[in-house]
Structure 1
Amino acid sequence: MVDGVIQRFEFCYELAWKTVKYFLDYQGIEEVKSPRTAFREAHTYGLIENGDEWIDMLTDRNKTSYTYDEELAKRIYNKIKSSHFKNLKDLYSVISKEELKE
């Protein structure tokens, strides 16, 4: 189950940062080329509240790409449950409301 949750987290994370990139580009912020820049700009723009947690999410995503360590997987799984999932849901809510304004 842990590996399945992590795999879905990876997918959702990639979708989230690319959505932020496209959203910011649509708003005229075109210098976004990386997830770190996307989250920094999203925090400045008000799309996300917890910029540090998003950078932590980026770090966890990078860790899942390079190696599989059971203890690391459990720690990341617990962070997905405790904060990453909430942050992803919050981003979805904010972007959904922004789209309704258009």
Structure 2
Amino acid sequence: MPVLAVGDAICWVPAEGLPYSPGAPLDEIVLTNLKERVLAPDRIADLLKSLMERQATKSEWANHRLLALQKELSDTEDCLKLLIPSEIAHHSDFKSPAIPK
């Protein structure tokens, strides 16, 4: 059987003249290990549980942040309601249709 040298790798060439590829057996080994270790039902369940916990934490944080921003907006609006009439009183010649009397 002739020898095909590619870089540091040496593969035996079958009689038909096609180079031997160790890919198929290697692919089988890799896929088998993936099925057994990565895609195992327990592993997938743990991954999904972890993802759900992280999503719940993010949602909880977002809800707290939203409430804080809504309170800040409400406080700012209250300050503006107090500020605008006092500014109008100081500047009685200021007549803007956008500012209520």
Task: Specify which structure has the higher proportion of helix.
Answer: 1
What TM bracket, shorter-length normalisation?
A: under 0.3
Higher RCO, 1 or 2 (CA under 8 Å, sep at least 6)? 1
Based on CA coordinates, which of the two structures has the bigger radius of gyration?
2
What is the TM-score normalised by the length of structure 2?
0.28
